[in-house]
Amino acid sequence: MSLPSIVGFWTNLLQISAPAVRVALRRAPVRVESAGPCGQTRLLGSWMQKQQSTSRQFRLILVYTVGVFPNQEACFMHLGICIEGNIASGKTTCLEYFGKTSNIEVIAEPVHKWRNLKGHNPLALMYQDPARWGLTLQTYVQLTMLDQHVTTMTSPVTLMERSIYSAKYIFVENLYRSGKMPEVDYAVLSEWFDWIMRNIHVPVDLIVYLQTSPQTCYERLIERCREEEQVIPLEYLEMIHQLYEDWLIHQTSFKVPAPVLVIPADHDVQKMFCQYEEHRGKILMGSK
């Protein structure tokens, strides 16, 4: 669908002038990125700080466009949402829940790659000897996360588990601050990360933070029983928790790349599913 058609559609439906729709589009947290296949105009989600005060009218247009044109091939609009949270906080379960909805594409964290890279297990190696293998794992995590961020999506909304941001701001930072990553390794990873930020567009429109207590995660981690993680003590989850809180709640450590929706996640699964339903609209809108 071309941009003029979108403008025409909303002009007719809302009985507002075409310039008003165009103004709403211009003020929106999406931008015309490129001409997609078959001449379709692609609007790629791109949240920008200076445009936080997006008009309500446009947001309605945005959300209902997803509903009205659900099956557009190579959809013209795309929202990227990252699900963040501590280890075993319930991110995968959340993804599986929303994955049942049509028009939402979910991208699970590529843990299987981190556990098996040409027969090697960088995740296990890192837990066994973080000072030796932290750089190895985190270099690969950064690459695989970037790969997921730039993958072309065909659905209007993508839910991605974690992000290149949390890999750097939480896990690399934790290794470094706890004295398990040499300064030179941290400097190399930081140079790579900064280069990516300067040269590659990594769009995120909303961060959904599943906020749990470290104790809850510890219990769920033991229940999940992933072999590599059996060495993780409660203190490790407490450090990850604090880094997440400083980044997304207090916003005192690193730049937050998108608005944050906080969902308390210590509850049982049924209560979590109820909360996901309550927040479904906000999540689809890609903002608070």
Ligand X SMILES: Nc1ncnc2c1ncn2[C@@H]1O[C@H](COP(=O)(O)OP(=O)(O)O)[C@@H](O)[C@H]1O
Please count the other Cβ atoms lying within 10 Å of the Cβ belonging to residue 237. 22
Q: Taking CB under 6 A as the rule, does residue 124 contact ligand LXEULUCI?
A: no
Of 105, 109, 161, 173, which one is the catalytic site residue?
A: 161
At a CB cut-off of 8 Å and minimum separation 6, what does 52 contact?
259
**Element counts in the chain: helices (H) and strands (E):** 13, 7
Q: Taking CB under 6 A as the rule, does residue 269 contact ligand X?
A: yes
What is the C-alpha to C-alpha distance for residues 121 and 246, in angstroms, rounded to an integer? Answer: 30
Q: Taking CB under 6 A as the rule, does residue 45 contact ligand X?
A: no
| Site residue total, ligand X (CB under 6 A) | 15
- Minimum gap (Å) between residue 185 Cβ and ligand X: 25
Tell which positions 67-106 bind ligand LXEULUCI, by CB under 6 A: 87-88, 91
Assigned token pair, 129: 């000897």
Q: Taking CB under 6 A as the rule, does residue 112 contact ligand X?
A: no
- Pick the piece of the chain touching ligand X (CB under 6 A) from 21-29, 62-70, 237-245, 262-270: 262-270
What is the C-alpha to C-alpha distance for residues 255 and 83, in angstroms, rounded to an integer? Answer: 17
Q: Taking CB under 6 A as the rule, does residue 223 contact ligand X?
A: yes
Whether 161 is catalytic is yes
CB 79 within 8 A of CB 156: yes
Tell which positions 69-108 bind ligand X, by CB under 6 A: 85, 87-93
| Site residue total, ligand LXEULUCI (CB under 6 A) | 14
Q: Taking CB under 6 A as the rule, does residue 183 contact ligand X?
A: no
Nearer to ligand X, 42 or 91 (CB): 91
Please count the other Cβ atoms lying within 10 Å of the Cβ belonging to residue 114. 19
Assigned token pair, 162: 């974690």
